[in-house]
Amino acid sequence: MDPTFHLMELPTRVLIGDGVLSKLGEFIEESAGSGRVVVAAGTHVQEKVRASVDAILGGRASWVIVLAADTANVEKVIRESRGSKCIIGVGGGKSVDVGKLASFRAKLPFYSVPTSASHDGIASPFASLKGLDRPYSVMAKPPVGILADIGVIASAPRRLLASGCGDLVSKLTAVKDWQLAHRVNDEYYGSYAANLALMSAQVVLDGSKKIGRFGKESVRDLVEALISTGVAAGIAGSSRPCSGSEHLFSHYLDILAPDAGLHGEKCGLGTIMMAKLHGIDWKSVRRALSNVGAPVTASEMGAEDSEVVESLVKASSIRPDRYTILSKKRLNKKAATELAQSVGVI
């Protein structure tokens, strides 16, 4: 296929508002009818919403507890999905990613029902799991539908919401990396998808103080921005508008310090440093993250300075085919240390 061609796959339905979880049965009716459905959810989320969901779906939901975002849990959901009409991922990134990849492999419709807004996987066609043949997101399909109950999401721990802000600001450097790859390697670049991603990042930069209070209005803005970035990836046909050098940094730090920080927190920290490399306003990124309560230093996130430095040096090896500012700069240990220190990350 001509490399300038790509298929756009987007969510077809989005229902968002306070209390819309009660509409779940109607929302999935087109795919499920009155048939059996599989619900993938974490332990805590199941305890929080299972009674409500079972009542709404009339007891036809078969629940699978997702203990980790890995291939074993994907296979568990696939096995349970035999004879069902669709798969619903209820929860945060872990359950949504597992449900998304399971539905893709089982060839079933997938519905995303986030209970937090910690990253943009709630709408994107990509899934990020451990145990795959590569340590970064893989292409699946976007959800057929997204049902986002703002009341439920606003009650999530603030750390998860702040992590979503970190994932949003990362679009600033992801787009810069995409533009760089277009200039250097003549890679396809879509200005509409790029601008949609940038607009979503700007929501956090412009309103970080208000968002940091995490009232329902701000949470709705945050959720809509995260959905928009997922749509941007669907329009681009790749993760380029949403994932660049800051995500490569995050993925390498996952290897070195898997328990230090959430995905969006690591991406936010990476964005501060990549913004400095790109020559854009890293101080506004750092200030916005601080305003929403996201970590802006390695120690706040529970990572060692040496782990940050090594991740900066080796991040580009995660995905050599993806040209970013780290491919251009090729930081050594000294330069990486100076960069992280110059922006106050270490």
| The predicted structure's pLDDT at residue 147 | 97
Average pLDDT over residues 253-276: 95
In a domain, 8, yes or no: no
What is the pTM for the complete model shown?
0.93
Please give the residue range of the domain that contains residue 311.
158-342
Shared domain for 146 and 170, answered yes or no, is: no
Residues 143 and 122 in one domain: yes
- Residues 333 and 274 occupy one common structural domain: yes
Residue 134's pLDDT band, with cuts at 50, 70 and 90, is low
Mean pLDDT, rounded, for 107-115: 96
CATH code, domain carrying 251: 1.20.1090.10
Q: Is residue 5 situated within a structural domain? A: no
Using 50, 70 and 90 to split pLDDT, how confident is the model at 5? confident
Please state the rounded mean pLDDT for residues 335-344: 98
Among 16-30, 40-54, 159-173, 196-210, which stretch is predicted with the lowest mean pLDDT?
A: 40-54
Query: What is the chain's mean pLDDT, rounded?
Result: 93
pLDDT tens digits for 306-330? 999 999 999 999 999 999 999 999 9
Number of compact structural domains in the chain: 2
What is the structure's pLDDT at 7? 82
Q: pLDDT band at 266, cuts 50/70/90?
A: very high
User: Does 217 have pLDDT greater than 60?
Assistant: yes
Q: What is the pLDDT of residues 66-92, one digit of tens each?
A: 998 888 999 999 999 999 999 999 998
SS (H, E, C) the chain: CCCCCCCCCCCCEEEEECCHHHHHHHHCHHHHCCCCEEEEECHHHHHHHHHHHHHHCCCCEEEEECCCCEHHHHHHHHHHCCCCCEEEEEECHHHHHHHHHHHHHHCCCEEEEECCCCCHHHCCCEECCECCCCCCCEECCCCCEEEEEHHHHHCCCHHHHHHHHHHHHCHHHHHHHHHHHHHHHCCCCCHHHHHHHHHHHHHHHHHHHHHCCCCHHHHHHHHHHHHHHHHHHHHHCCCCCCCCHHHHHHHHHHHHCCCCCCHHHHHHHHHHHHHHHHCCCHHHHHHHHHHCCCCCCHHHHCCCHHHHHHHHHHHHHHCCCCCCHHHHHCCCHHHHHHHHHHCCCC
Residue 94 sits in the same domain as residue 169: no
For position 133, what pLDDT does the model report? 59
What is the average pLDDT across 156-174? Answer: 96
